[in-house]
Every structure is written in C-alpha cells, then in structure tokens.
Amino acid sequence: MKSRSEGFRPIGYLLFAVVMLAVLILCVIVGSVNIPAKDTMAAIYTAVKNAILGLPISSSIIVSVRLPRVLAVALVGATLSLCGGAIQGLLRNPLADSSTMGVSTGAGVGAVLFLAFGFAVPGLQNAGTMLSAMAFAFISLLLILTLSYKIDYTLSTNTIILIGMIFTMFASSIISLVITFAGDKVNTVVFWLMGSLAAAKYRDVLILIGALLIFGTVILSMSRELNAFAVGEDNARHIGVNVKRAKYVILIAVSALIGVCVSIGGTIGFVGLVVPHMTRMIVGPNHRRLLPACLFSGATFLMLADLLARTLLNPVELPIGVVTSFFGAFAFVFIFYRTRKAK
C-alpha cells in the first residue's frame, strides 16, 4: 500500500479556502442593511484599487464598517481555533482550550488591570492592554498547568477542567475587584468586558495579521512536536523531542495570540474547543493537516457566529460570545461524553 501524505493536500486547502471566502462574502453582504453582492464587490474592488494607487478611500458601510469587522472576526476565529488545536495536542486533551482552562479570563484580568490603572502609551493605542493581556495569559497558563500537574501528573481531562473552572472563578473575582476600584474608568472597563468585534478597525486587522504571521507560524512549525505530544509525552521524549523547550515555545506563542485576541475582541469562549474538535473529525489528528485546517474552519465558524449575532434578533445585536458559548456548551457536553465513552 502506498504511503499516505502527512501534510494537507492542495485540494484540501482549496476546499476550506473556498468555503471560508464564500462565508466572508456572505457576511459582508448580509447585515441590518442588505447590500447586493454586485455592489459589495464593486465597493471592495474600488477601495483596494484606490488603496494601491494611494487615492482616498470612500467611507461606505461596506469598506469602513463591515469589511474590517468581518476580517477581524475571521482572524480572531482562525487564531483562537489554531490555539485550541495546539493546546489540545500538547495536553493530549480534547477538552483543553483557552476558555475552558481559564486562560482567556486570565488574559482578561491583565487587560482590565491595565484599562483601570494603566497609562496610555503615546502613539500606541491599546499596546499596553495587549501586552498586559499577553503576559497574564502566559502566567495563567503556567499557573493552571503547574497546579494541575501537582495534583495529577498525568494532566487528565477532569483535573485540568476542574482547575480551569476554579481559576476562572478566581480571575473573575479579581476582575470584579478591579471594577470596584476602577473609579472613573468603570465605563471603559465594563464596555471592554462585554467583548465585541463590532467596532473593529483596520488597525486591529493588521495587528491580528501580524500576530498570526509571527506566532501562528511558530505554532505551525511545531506540528511534528505536537503530533509527538498527542501520542504521549514520554514517547515524545523517547523519540528525541526537546520536551521542555517545545512546551515553552508552544505555550508562549499560544499566550501571545490569546492575549492579542482578548485585548481586541474580549473573551470569546469555546471557539478553540469546538472548532479543532470538528476539524479533527474531518482531517484527522495529524497536526500537519489539522492546524492549517483549523485556521480556515475557525475563521468560517466565527464569521457564521457573528452573522447570527448580527441578524438573529435584528435590529438588536447579540454579543458574539453569547452565540459561541451557546453552541460551545452543547459541544462541550458532547465531546466530554464521547471522551468518557471512549475510555
């Protein structure tokens, strides 16, 4: 029998990309004001052409509101999904995710602390919030894993989820405490906490692209190490993986990406849990295929969730996190049941 390709085949990329692009176009077209596809494409084409030629770009609803929002949603979805896939592989645990483990809430503590008591860096709007969220995401991840390991060195599903829940409660109480002492910054903090990508700007899109290019590439480059971890940590050590170094590299990259996502869009739960799991069912567990596929499927999933959030109770707009958590909660129970049944 002929050896099977480990990587993602071009046709696979193409299929995922076509679906993602179709959903992206749909999300730009559909909204409180429906704009025909032809006009939408014309507006985007003109804007891109003018941007290349250095001409002024018209401030139509498509170019100035919907496109940056949809792009930011797609990039946050891709990023959260990539991080979820990486953490699930590293910990060999299909229920591990930044939201179930409490890392997102931990990053939230960092962001809220900076919003309430931090200082603005001239010319670098949100930079402090972002860096603080990144640092707290990393500290949270280390803390949760260390505690879990001390209790149960096998890092079993139940232990991680339990510690994650406890940590989420702890982090939430700190956020409440910060709000109590936030003084005149209360409005800023509360508005940020509601978490939304509705007001996303092209600047946010560029930051997300930059973060994904740097840290996403790092995670993708660790695919073989993640395969080894997913088979077993001892086995990874035996075949020559530098276990400690690989763990730190992956955890730092994941923390940085979660920090960026949280500082831009607030805590959007369950994307990193649901999407990698669904994607694994399509492309299998090999991270050389899984991680690139997660990028496309994560973007598609969050764009669809955002579309639902915008249109389901039109003109009232739901927070995107409500939609993802609604589906995520069902998915969590389903995955937990499947995992237990398999054991």
Partner 1 sequence: MLDVKNLTVQYGSLKIVDSVSFSIRPQEWLMVVGPNGAGKSTVVSAIAQGVPYTGSVEIDGQDVAKLRPRDAARLFGVLTQNHTVGYSFTVEEVVRLGRYAFSEGMFAARNDEDERKLEEALELTGLTSFRTRSVLTLSGGELQRTFLAQLLAQNPRLLILDEPTNHLDLVYQKQIFELIKEWLKAPGRAVMSVVHDLNLAKAYGTHAVLLDKGCTVSGGRAGDVLTPVHLNPVYNMDVYAWMQQMLSQWREAQ
96 interacts with partner 1 by CB under 8 A: no
- Residues 33-92 contacting partner 1, CB under 8 A: 89, 92
Interface residue with partner 1, options 99, 263, 286, 297 (CB under 8 A): 286
In angstroms, the CA 16 to CA 301 distance is 12
Whichever of 49 and 237 has its CB closer to partner 1, that residue is: 237
Residues 182, 116: contact at Cβ < 8 Å? yes
How far apart are CB 296 and partner 1 at their closest, in Å? Answer: 19
238 interacts with partner 1 by CB under 8 A: yes
Whichever of 1 and 11 has its CB closer to partner 1, that residue is: 1
How far apart are CB 96 and partner 1 at their closest, in Å? Answer: 11
94 interacts with partner 1 by CB under 8 A: yes
Structure tokens of 307?
């579309």
How far apart are CB 259 and partner 1 at their closest, in Å? Answer: 23
Residues 189, 178: contact at Cβ < 8 Å? yes
Segment near partner 1 (CB under 8 A); pick from 79-87, 170-178, 196-204, 223-231: 223-231
Segment near partner 1 (CB under 8 A); pick from 78-86, 196-204, 239-247, 252-260: 239-247
Is residue 1 packed enough to be buried (19+ CB in 10 Å), middle (13-18) or exposed (0-12)?
A: exposed
How far apart are CB 332 and partner 1 at their closest, in Å? Answer: 17
Q: What residues have CB less than 8 Å from 274, skipping those under 6 apart?
A: 301, 324, 327, 328, 331
In angstroms, the CA 176 to CA 136 distance is 16
242 interacts with partner 1 by CB under 8 A: yes
Segment near partner 1 (CB under 8 A); pick from 31-39, 72-80, 170-178, 224-232: 224-232
184 interacts with partner 1 by CB under 8 A: no
Q: What residues have CB less than 8 Å from 74, skipping those under 6 apart?
A: 20, 24, 299, 300, 302, 303
In angstroms, the CA 227 to CA 234 distance is 13
The CA dihedral of 160, 114, 204, 302, to the nearest 10 degrees, is 30
Interface residue with partner 1, options 75, 228, 260, 262 (CB under 8 A): 228
Residues 98, 258: contact at Cβ < 8 Å? yes
| Residues lying near partner 1 in the complex (CB under 8 A) | 1, 3-4, 6, 89, 92-94, 221, 224, 227-228, 230-232, 234-235, 237-243, 280, 284-286, 342
